Amino acid sequence: MSSRRSSRLSTAAATEKSEPATSTVVNQSKKRKNSELEAVKLSPNSKDDGPATPKKKRASKKAPPPVTPTPALAKLLAMPYSSGDIDDSTPPPLTDRLAVPNGTNAPLISPETHRLISTKPLDQVSPSKKTNGTTTTKNILDDALAHLIKVEPKLKPIIEKHPCHCFSVEGLAEEIDPFRSLVSGIISQQVSGAAAKSIKAKFVTLFNEGDESQTHTFPTPSQVASKTIEVLRTAGLSQRKAEYVQGLAQKFSGGEITTEMLFSASYEEVFGELIKVRGLGKWSVEMFACFGLKRMDVFSTGDLGVQRGMAALAGRDVSKLKGKGGKWKYMSEKEMEETAEKFKPYRSVFMWYCWRVEEVDISTFEQ
């Protein structure tokens, strides 16, 4: 009996000695699991970054607009057909044509047929329809500037100092191939000007093999759509940009986007169709409509240069506001929209001069 009792005591003692070891292993295991959980929470790839936010608050919070891209992108979006880098460099004739503040004033070249679409030359308008108040490409800018000065007299010295080529009779004569302009804009996204120029040259060369001349023809949408992503990437395009360019080409060649629509549709319709295209954001569409299509009533609240210029016009010290955090550090989006409303139907021209107020460099926006 004493031996059985001794055996039980020995077993109990062994159990007591082994329990701390087991507890230590369990605790270490828990620590490892906790560490792993912490690592997951802190991982940049985790979907649960930071504390959870109630859905209602997150939904009601308005997301800021994207950072304004470089002016070089706007230059490519507005590049005229006869720019000299490809095709020919013959400037178009300065023909006085009918003009409209709320429509496309640039002569557009169909990318597939090279057919020119533009407003009617004034000398072809019936005399019975001509009046002293007829708006043409020669006087529409004068009308716009008079309206701007009437609404905001402080703009007068800025207007006198900086002639606006973009909407002048020369600027409105520049012929635009919309497909080429939009492709050029996509190519130039997030790369330097030199890199964009090199990639564009290689891209054009893909469709001009065997042509030894120094000037090449920009490809048509159907030509681009027929190339595989792999072939397009040989020009230096990233996988995503190659997909964007091919997708845009398919929309043009398939008739979803047409030169006729870009010319005659309302701004809302044009914006609605272009914003569906992968690779074209809100700012890119706005800049193309303004500087490419030469629509005179486009306004971009997402442009930091415009926001800063408007704040300066309102008498605010933009140098002090510069260090303020957030996208709307100079002026709220609502205030921008309300202020710009007074400059209708010439908000594109107002926007152009907002860049000039603070000497924001927009020389690359025009030729």
Together in a domain, 29 and 89 = no
- Looking at the domain assignment, is residue 344 inside a domain? yes
Together in a domain, 314 and 261 = yes
- Looking at the domain assignment, is residue 64 inside a domain? no
Residue 96's contacts (CB-CB under 8 Å, 6 or more residues apart) are: 121, 122, 123, 136, 137, 138, 169
pLDDT category of residue 330 using cuts at 50, 70 and 90: confident
pLDDT digit string, tens, across residues 121-146: 988 888 877 776 799 999 999 999 99
The pLDDT of residue 278 is 96
Q: What is the pTM of this model?
A: 0.73
Q: In 3D, which of 118, 141, 125 has the Cα closest to residue 263?
A: 118
The pLDDT of residue 123 is 86
Question: Could you list the residue range(s) of the whole structural domain that residue 40 is in?
Answer: 2-49
- Looking at the domain assignment, is residue 322 inside a domain? yes
Structure tokens at 143: 């009308």
- Looking at the domain assignment, is residue 66 inside a domain? no
pLDDT digit string, tens, across residues 196-248: 999 999 999 999 876 665 567 899 999 999 999 999 999 999 999 999 999 99
The pLDDT of residue 327 is 77
Number of structural domains in the chain: 2
- Looking at the domain assignment, is residue 59 inside a domain? no
**CA 97 – CA 120 distance, rounded (Å):** 6
| Contact call for residues 256 and 275 (beta carbons, < 8 A) | no
**CA 107 – CA 169 distance, rounded (Å):** 12
- Looking at the domain assignment, is residue 55 inside a domain? no
- Looking at the domain assignment, is residue 267 inside a domain? yes
Structure tokens at 220: 């048509």
**CA 87 – CA 215 distance, rounded (Å):** 6
| Cα separations in angstroms, 115 against 60, 108, 172, 314 | 48, 8, 18, 45
Select, from the ranges 121-135, 265-279, 353-367, the one with the highest average predicted confidence (pLDDT): 265-279
Together in a domain, 339 and 239 = yes
Together in a domain, 340 and 217 = yes
| Contact call for residues 303 and 351 (beta carbons, < 8 A) | yes
Percent of all residues in the chain with a pLDDT value above 70, rounded to a whole number: 70
Together in a domain, 224 and 328 = yes
pLDDT category of residue 361 using cuts at 50, 70 and 90: very low
Structure tokens at 204: 């054009």
